[in-house]
Structure 1
């Protein structure tokens, strides 16, 4: 009798993903056969040196960039090969975005910015969920303020609430604390962590900051377009140690690939 094992649901998946820019001598391999699963209800950070491919991987997962080879999926939707209409629907219904630059519309209030994705989709907010998001983001008394009347941390929390309000399958965050001071960064990171732990949200975050990565459940490390290591239950010191030893890790990954007949890590 075979005993069944329940596997965690996958919110996003990369399968043997390659991304190549340019041709001939100018050709750059940004991703080299990357395969990774991102489980639902988990907080994953992606780290690596500059030029390692971390932002490229996130952009390919989110359908913001196309892959040269391999396959990307969000939930049960295969992203690879979708046309413009399919990608627009996917981003509208299944994906939330948080960017370093906030990307709030200056003429809209905080409340209007939060609800903008739903308004564009012609959907009304779930009031109970919206109230939960507002209480979590802690900006009820600032909802009628425009972005210029908010601090950087408050603007980013508005952007976080905007990403959450449609209850997407996965939220992609690209250096979400890159423009914030340490106090505001902590506020935003705690908010993201709480959205995962209390509300089951899925977050994939690109960051260069070991302290920011320590809020995640898991850290995936890239170097030269390949996944070379990962860490669960990260601490700032453990993440920093991994980053300091990236050259050694990269060399070990190359040795393993050679032993496996040239297969990518």
Structure 2
């Protein structure tokens, strides 16, 4: 790690995105008219009360879920309307994922878990980049260990390295510290923060934790499926204050809109 990489532009964006589940009395509006731009080389946190739509937004941005209306882009690539084969290829080449559950294969070593997505794609890891990632997450002496031989924090760092080693355009992290103690959580968040600052990586993280959100450059707040506020250069205290004072002013969805 020799320098700081500055990245500019938009890594991912949504344009007037709606996500509606069901119909009639059972209709649930998960997202309503959401338009956001996520900057390249930035760490963005998405927050909101339970049921606010934050995980749905991340899944739509990552191409894991389709939208009812609107458009989603990764860089200049439009995900909306893409067939399953192309979406799978895009997720494999341009997107990285880190989940609350580490999702490591128990029969593989840490090194094999880290390189698994590349192996599936028929690619070999760039050795210099692999070494940089491994040294950054501090796993050099754990590469031959299987997940059961690693602590929770070490397992999540393996998952972080797995997401980063393919050099994706965006890494989506869904509650990445949810299963970790505060010390291990801080180590993982510090790694994510460093990957943005030193590698120019783009991170989009869903979290309910104001301390985790304080590692981000920007926090986007959702309520009732709509973006209601944002905060730049957050601290745990300013995030907590904002969460306490979120006002839900989301528009209602008319029957005509739901049917469009």
Q: Which residue is equivalent to 1:261?
A: none
Structure 2 counterpart of 1:114: 114
Cα offset, 1:250, TM superposition: 2.3
How many aligned positions are there? 246
Kept after mapping to 1: 8 A contact 2:8/2:41 = no
Kindly indicate whether the alpha-carbon contact (under 8 Å) linking 2:133 and 2:165 is maintained by their aligned counterparts in 1: yes
What's the counterpart of residue 82 of structure 1?
A: 82
> What residue is the counterpart of 2:101 in the other structure?
101
1:140 Cα deviation from its structure 2 partner:
0.5
Task: Kindly report structure 1 stretches of 4+ aligned residues shifted beyond 6 Å.
Answer: none
**Secondary structure, in 3 states, of the residue corresponding to 2:199?**
coil
Whether 1:37 aligns to 2:28 is: no
TM-score in terms of structure 2 length:
0.93
Using the TM superposition, give the Cα deviation of residue 169 of structure 1 relative to its aligned residue in structure 2, in angstroms: 0.3
Give the Å deviation of 1:128.
1.0
Q: In the alignment, what sits opposite 1:201? A: 201
Unpaired segments ≥5 residues, structure 1? 1-6, 258-265
Partner residue in 2 for 1:250:
248
- Where 2:133 maps in the other structure, the secondary structure is helix
Rounded Cα–Cα distance in structure 2 between residues aligned with 1:185 and 1:173? 13
How much has 1:199 moved relative to structure 2?
0.4
Larger mean Cα displacement after TM superposition, 8-17 or 169-178: 8-17
Which residues in structure 2 correspond to 1:1-265 (within 5 Å)? Answer: 8-246=8-246, 249-251=247-249
The separation in 2 between residues aligned to 1:132 and 1:217, in whole angstroms, is 23
CA contact (8 A) 2:97 2:173 kept: yes
**TM-score under structure 1 length normalisation:** 0.91
Structure 1 residue 171 displacement after superposition: 0.2
Report the alpha carbon displacement of residue 76 of structure 1 after superposing the two structures with TM.
1.3
Separation in 1, partners of 2:8, 2:194: 20
> Root-mean-square deviation (CA), in Å?
1.2
Distance (Å, rounded) in 2 between the aligned partners of 1:8 and 1:148: 40
Report the Cα distance in structure 2 between the residues aligned to 1:146 and 1:125, rounded to whole angstroms.
20
